[in-house]
Amino acid sequence: MKLKEQMERRIKAEGKSPKTFETYWHYCENFLVWLRDENHGQWVHPKDVGRDELQEWLSAMANDRNCSKNSQNTALQSVLYLYRMLGVTIENVSAIRAKRATHTREVMSVEDVRNLFDHLSGVSLLAAQLMYGAGLRIGDVVSIRLKDLNFERAQLSIKAGKGDKWRFTAFPAVLHDAVRRQIEYVKVVWRHDTQDNPNGVSLPDSYRKKAPRAANELRWYWLFPGENLSKGHEGLLCRHHRHEDHISRQIKEAADRAGILTRVTSHVLRHSYATHAHEQGVPVRTLMQLLGHESIETTEIYLHADKNGATAAHSPLTQLLAAPQMRAEDQKPEREGVTQMDRGAIHYNGLRVYRGEVG
């Protein structure tokens, strides 16, 4: 069995997401190509090399390719996973490798969010509104099936989130009508598939074997189905959800058209939801549950930009610029012979002012 197929099966068996496999294999493939190039074009099996080669590769990423700290650390974890899969333990890797930097999350202003929505339409608009309105990742949004929507309880069931964690989150009532209109479109796709697509919709893992009829049931259809049939992990030509990259690109292009200067991505909408919701009084622990975080420390990272928090502290510049500055000559002792009127005068921008008059 090829290494790629072996890794894909192992990651799937461990319940990790397909994105995890894509990320791991990307760096493992990069490592294998680097080994080939270092060996004069000859492919080398990773079992035939070890810690020294891994350290050289990581150092090359830092020095020659100027990779970010995050990319370098992810690359190491990916290749170490490959070695664990092969039954090889590698410890004490001491390549040029930096600790991952700690950073806060970017947040849009409410006005920028409104401006962004004004430049979106259709599927991309509804998807962006769900990200901001419910704090969803883009992967959460495209993975919503009709059965996950509960209009009566105003809840969304997110069953394929990051780390394959399940949770319930808010389903804003203000979006219900738009979602109902989208469901009418899904029904059209579903009716078309019942005639021309015997494989129906893609299903999780091996659920097709357990419940073969589910693939043709409306409730299992995606809220945002793809326009064309495609092969998924099942290897069958069926209806998959709309690709994340398409929606991400539409959001970025809309932000450019709107002239928004803040960096705008699908995940920044999630960050903005967390910060704005907290500013409106939603407790941190409630946000932690809605966002699907395992620890409250993760949620608190999103709140550093809270306008009612540290950044609300008054700047000394405010008081400095609020009143005219006294000139140095006004601070000198009074000279003999100064009249009462002179004593009552003040200077403003070089002019002497008496009881509201300028002289």
| CATH for the stretch 110-301 | 1.10.443.10
Instruction: Pinpoint the residues of the chain covered by CATH 1.10.443.10.
Output: 110-301
Q: Which of 137, 145, 271, 276 is catalytic?
A: 137
Dihedral (C-alpha) 274, 276, 277, 281: value to the nearest 10 degrees?
130
Query: Is-catalytic flag, 40?
Result: no
Q: Which of 16, 159, 162, 233 is catalytic?
A: 162
CB of 142 closer than 8 Å to CB of 241:
yes
Q: Which of 255, 269, 276 is nearest to 118 (CA)?
A: 255
CA distance linking residue 327 with residue 155, whole number of Å: 63
Query: Is-catalytic flag, 270?
Result: yes
| CATH for the stretch 3-85 | 1.10.150.130
Q: Which of 239, 241, 242, 270 is catalytic?
A: 270
Query: Is-catalytic flag, 231?
Result: no
Tens of pLDDT along 287-315? 888 888 878 887 777 666 566 665 555 66
Query: Is-catalytic flag, 19?
Result: no
CB of 146 closer than 8 Å to CB of 219:
yes
Query: Is-catalytic flag, 187?
Result: no
- The packing angle between helices 3-13 and 69-85, to 10°, is 90
pLDDT average, residue stretch 149-153: 96
What pTM value is reported for the model? Answer: 0.69
Tens of pLDDT along 241-283? 999 999 999 999 999 999 999 999 999 999 999 889 988 888 8
Which neighbouring-strand residues pair with 168?
157
pLDDT average, residue stretch 60-76: 80
Which neighbouring-strand residues pair with 357?
354
